[in-house]
């Protein structure tokens, strides 16, 4: 018996992406994405809130989208950190600064970093606006299941800049 329908996986459409496209995109974008984890601008913004220990900065910046969760949730979501290390800094970071304040500080720090590294002209360019729109469209195609950090970030409002 033959079917008159073709599944997406068996389609030979020329519009399909190369199977390696995602990996190539990840390789290029991860370097840019990772800059905020180590950005002195983000660290400076969090220090202004009173979060000074490097591990506390890391956990606060990365977990803020989850809300004022405890160390168990952060350790589970991050997966590769020992609970004891996380518990040494969380939930204390939320007593020092709210997740909303951390998110705002992170946004300011990342904006400063990107403008410093890429230049004001490129950041303000139509090409950057197009890239941001394409990135947003790509993220909207992602699924939230078993991805707590993505799900939390996807629920945040999209920054104006």
Residue 86 within any structural domain of the chain: yes
Question: 106-146, pLDDT tens digit by residue?
Answer: 999 999 999 999 999 999 999 999 999 999 998 999 999 99
Q: Alpha-carbon distance 109 to 64, whole Å?
A: 14
Question: How many domains is the chain built from?
Answer: 1
- pLDDT tier, 10 (very low <50, low <70, confident <90, very high otherwise): very low
Residue 11 within any structural domain of the chain: no
Instruction: Calculate what percentage of the chain has a pLDDT beyond 90.
Output: 74
Q: Is the pLDDT of residue 11 over 90?
A: no
Answer positive or negative: Cα dihedral of 143, 145, 147, 151. positive
- pLDDT tier, 152 (very low <50, low <70, confident <90, very high otherwise): very high
Reduce the DSSP state of residue 93 to 3 states and report it.
helix
Question: Is 77 within 8 Å of 123 (Cβ atoms)?
Answer: no
Residue 46 within any structural domain of the chain: yes
Look up the pTM and report it.
0.85
Q: Is the pLDDT of residue 33 over 90?
A: no
pLDDT of residue 17: 77
Residue 29 within any structural domain of the chain: no
Instruction: Calculate what percentage of the chain has a pLDDT beyond 70.
Output: 91
- pLDDT tier, 15 (very low <50, low <70, confident <90, very high otherwise): low
What are the CA-CA distances from residue 88 to residues 15, 100, 109, 129, 157 (Å)?
50, 21, 24, 40, 30
Residue 133 within any structural domain of the chain: yes
Average of per-residue pLDDT across 52-67: 98
Average of per-residue pLDDT across 39-62: 98
pLDDT of residue 1: 46
- Characterise 158 by phi-psi region: left (phi > 0), alpha (psi -120 to 50), beta (else): beta
Residue 22 within any structural domain of the chain: no
Provide the domain limits for residue 140: 41-154
Residues ≥6 apart with Cβ < 8 Å to 27: none
**CA nearest to 128, candidates 141, 143, 111, 142:** 111
């Amino acid at each position: 018996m033959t079917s008159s329908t073709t599944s997406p996986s068996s389609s030979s459409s020329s519009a399909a992406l190369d199977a390696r496209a995602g990996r190539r995109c990840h390789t290029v974008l991860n370097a840019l994405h990772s800059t905020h984890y180590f950005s002195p601008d983000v660290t400076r913004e969090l220090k202004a809130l009173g979060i000074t220990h490097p591990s506390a900065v890391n956990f606060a910046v990365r977990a803020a989208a989850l809300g004022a969760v405890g160390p168990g949730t952060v350790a589970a979501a991050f997966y590769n950190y020992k609970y004891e290390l996380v518990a040494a800094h969380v939930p204390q970071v939320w007593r020092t600064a709210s997740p909303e304040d951390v998110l705002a500080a992170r946004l300011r720090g990342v904006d400063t970093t990107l403008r410093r590294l890429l230049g004001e002209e490129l950041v303000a360019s139509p090409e950057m606006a197009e890239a941001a729109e394409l990135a947003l469209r790509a993220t909207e195609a992602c699924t939230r299941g078993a991805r707590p950090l993505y799900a939390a970030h996807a629920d945040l409002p999209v920054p104006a800049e």
